[in-house]
Homo-oligomer: A and B are copies of this chain.
Amino acid sequence: MTYDKFDPEGQKIQLFTPGPVYVPDWILKEFSKPNDTHRCNPYRELHGMVKKKMQKLLHTKDSDILLWTNSGTGIMEACIRNLIGPDDKAIFFPCGAFGERWANMAEECGKNAVVKQIEWGKGVSPEIVKEELSKDKYAVVFITLNETSTGIMNPIWDIGPIVKEHGALLCVDAVSCMAGIDIDVDKWGIDVVLASSQKCFALPPGLSVSSVSEAAFEKAKTVPNRGSYFDFITMKKKSETNETPSTPAIPHLRALNKMLDHILDEEGPENRYKRHAELAAHVREWAKKQGFEVFSEDGYHSNTVVTIRNNLNINVGLWVKKAIEKGFRFVDGYGDLKGKTFRIAAMGEITMAMLDEFLGVITTLLAEVK
């Protein structure tokens, strides 16, 4: 069996990719259950349960939970369309490919935005944010919590209060870390935090989630040309009756409800976050043991994806290909970092035993690609 061709029976390859990730059987089973429609009580009950559990996960009483049938990218655009008014200036702090993509979207949406570029591999320090915010008046601040291209995790817990002091709204991309690290929306002062189903939630792709603060909704009301599908106000109005404006991805919602039960009541959030931190630390140790350097700077290492510098000058593409033949997928560097780095992610339901098996296989293969 080759793992590099479409398999009608389902892809059995084991994923150590930064999303989509390995989905356990008990979640896949949720996807094979019959669904009802979305304009009925059973759906509203499900929607309401998911919202409550998400509020618990994100430690928020003040923010509403919006459930989106689109990838996380869509919510990133929603933040821009809803929160940057015609007379506003926004600021982005990209420290990798996904942060830069977010900043580009502001231009695509015709918004006025300043981009404070952070060198790839470095984190966004609270000091930089403080300095930039003291220079000008910004209505909204956009920061990536976990940058999937560089393996950087930014200290939003320290940055949030600074943003609040300056009276700006704070939008946080947590696509590749929500449910993998603890996020405290109310304490950190986050107005919008967004994530996708196919990362630390260990679901297939097709759903994304966000919390949105009252302040963000109030702001959105004043912003013209928000469009339709990504309009916070329309979403909020429907959310009040536990519905969505258009037909939602019901199978994903059913599965998310199950996963939230698992996280909150079975594994426990603290155990889950500890497991993710240990898995990432283990990958970094393994990398150093092989003679590699970790790409992300100390103090800013991600707990969900590790980006590793190809300082041994091996053939990364060949290594990845050989691993696929053995039934494992990990990934090359992103964009400009292709060949210069590689990435190993342990997200969602990956265990230390699964990680060790995988690292054992690619360690053996390493000799063949040096």
In the complex with contacts A71-B247, A73-B246, A20-B6 CB distance below 8 A: no
Judging by beta carbons under 8 Å apart, are A20 and B71 in contact? no
Residue A272 at the B interface, CB < 8 A? Answer: no
In the complex with contacts A20-B36, A227-B108, A247-B196 CB distance below 8 A: yes
A-B contact pairs, 16 of them (CB 8 A): A3-B42, A4-B40, A5-B42, A10-B33, A13-B36, A20-B38, A23-B34, A31-B251, A37-B329, A69-B70, A71-B246, A73-B245, A74-B246, A77-B228, A198-B247, A206-B250
A4 cross-chain contacts in B, Cβ below 8 A: 40-42
A134-156 CB contacts (< 8 Å) to partner B: none
A36 cross-chain contacts in B, Cβ below 8 A: 3, 11, 13, 15, 20, 329
A residues lining the B interface (CB < 8 Å): 3-7, 9-13, 15, 17, 19-20, 23, 28-29, 31-43, 45-46, 49, 69-74, 76-77, 81, 104-105, 108-110, 196, 198, 204-207, 224-231, 245-252, 254, 329, 331
Q: How many subunits of this chain does the assembly comprise?
A: 2
- Bound form: Cα–Cα A227–B74 in Å: 10
Apart from A110-B224, A204-B250, A204-B251, 7 more pairs, CB < 8 Å: A5-B45, A29-B32, A35-B204, A73-B229, A73-B246, A205-B250, A249-B249
- Bound form: Cα–Cα A23–B109 in Å: 38
Identity of the chain B residue whose Cβ is nearest the Cβ of A14 in the assembled complex: B34
Cβ-defined partner of A6 (8 Å) among B31, B49, B226 = B49
A251 cross-chain contacts in B, Cβ below 8 A: 31, 204, 206, 251
Identity of the chain B residue whose Cβ is nearest the Cβ of A111 in the assembled complex: B225
Q: Which of A13, A225, A246 gathers most chain B CB within 10 Å?
A: A246
Identity of the chain B residue whose Cβ is nearest the Cβ of A225 in the assembled complex: B110
Identity of the chain B residue whose Cβ is nearest the Cβ of A78 in the assembled complex: B229
CB of A292 to closest CB in B, whole Å: 23
A207 cross-chain contacts in B, Cβ below 8 A: 206
CB of A198 to closest CB in B, whole Å: 6
Identity of the chain B residue whose Cβ is nearest the Cβ of A44 in the assembled complex: B6
A10 cross-chain contacts in B, Cβ below 8 A: 33-35, 254
Identity of the chain B residue whose Cβ is nearest the Cβ of A22 in the assembled complex: B34
Judging by beta carbons under 8 Å apart, are A247 and B205 in contact? yes
- Bound form: Cα–Cα A76–B227 in Å: 11
A17 cross-chain contacts in B, Cβ below 8 A: 37
In the complex with contacts A11-B35, A329-B36, A204-B20 CB distance below 8 A: no
Identity of the chain B residue whose Cβ is nearest the Cβ of A24 in the assembled complex: B34
A74 cross-chain contacts in B, Cβ below 8 A: 70, 229, 246
- Bound form: Cα–Cα A229–B194 in Å: 15
Cβ-defined partner of A38 (8 Å) among B45, B46, B81, B205 = B205
In the complex with contacts A46-B6, A225-B109, A229-B77, A69-B28 CB distance below 8 A: no
